[in-house]
Amino acid sequence: MTRKFSWFNATSLAFGFAFLYIPILLLVIYSFNASKLVTVWAGFSTRWYGELLENEAMLDAAWVTLRVAAASATLATVLGTIAAYVLVRMGRFRGRTLFSGMIYAPLVMPEVITGLSLLLLFIALGIDRGLFTVILAHTTFAMCYVSVVVSSRLVTFDKSLEEAALDLGCTPLDAFFSVTLPIIAPSVVAGWLLAFTLSLDDLVIASFNTGPGATTLPIKIYSAVRLGVSPEINALSTILIAFVACGVITASLLEKRRAVAAGGN
């Protein structure tokens, strides 16, 4: 449908995107600034990248963060997919309202509350804080996001496909793995990526629930940033942004190609 695209619309878009992207662009530009000072441009330099790569503590933190993100994303995807299936396909069951509440609440719950409550739980259970507790914490809130992504796909999923599978001899579990999962796979992957990103980026919950030797990158960045602007952080930010940008662009291109292949529906 062709809609009227007015000058006002174009201006709104321009300002909106400018607002969104100028801070990011500035970060990137100044990561190449030879001078430490933000307001003085002293020439193009990659020295901060060099210093970043020699910063052992940062690299360690990055490694911890990647492991936590991968583990919690995978666990969150499994749990979240099951939760989505329960919400969409299982109809009414006792305690469904509570379940639904527990799935949606974490999406908006302030992180300080989630972080604190989980920490107190771990202490009450006598679990030592470290890598493991951060993974558990991240899994818990990420699974809710995965659940929302997967359930919005399941809602439009043709139920008769599952019925056909049963009719042809599948057990319900078989039907899920042979028919449902392959078809909703893109959403499940999207859920995994979302959970991965959320974990990668989390500061507050990790701060509450981490332990010795399990310092994550956001925690490191935060402590650096409290002291003011740091060009090394600019460099790190640029790397992360480039990484994410590539990922999102690739995903969009793949999605476009898949849509065309499926008959341009």
Specify the residue, 67 or 193, whose C-beta has the smaller distance to another protein: 193
As measured in angstroms, the least distance from the Cβ of 213 to another protein is: 19
Token digits of residue 171: 């057990």
Contact 41, 33 (CB under 8 A): yes
Largest CA distance in the chain: 71
To the nearest whole angstrom, how small is the minimum distance from the Cβ of residue 54 to another protein?
Answer: 21
Q: Which is nearer to another protein, 46 or 117 (CB)?
A: 117
Output 64 or 162, the one with its CB closest to another protein. Answer: 162
233: left (phi over 0), alpha (psi -120 to 50) or beta: alpha
Residue 145 beta carbon to another protein: minimum distance, rounded to whole angstroms: 12
CB 61 within 8 A of CB 217: yes
3-state secondary structure of 57: helix
Smallest CA-to-CA distance from 103 within 78, 79, 119, 121 is with 79
Q: Kindly tell me which of 73 and 118 has the beta carbon lying closer to another protein.
A: 118
Asked if 232 contacts 51 with a C-beta cutoff of 8 angstroms, the reply is yes
CB-nearer residue toward another protein: 53 or 248 = 248
Q: How far is the CB of 181 from another protein (least distance, A)?
A: 10
Look up residue 158 and give its two tokens: 């043709």
Q: Which of 99, 142, 118 is nearest to 210 (CA)?
A: 118
Shortest Å distance, C-beta 67 to another protein: 17
Q: Which is nearer to another protein, 60 or 222 (CB)?
A: 222
Taking the complex as a whole, the smallest distance from the CB of residue 56 to another protein amounts, in Å, to 21
Phi, psi for residue 3 in degrees, rounded to 5: -110, 160
In the complex, least distance from residue 214 CB atom to another protein, rounded to whole angstroms: 17
Q: Give the closest residue to 145 by CA, choosing from 93, 105, 205.
A: 105
Q: Nearer to another protein by C-beta: 17 or 50? A: 17
| Residue 191 in tokens | 């859920």
Q: Which residue has the tokens 């990647």?
A: 66
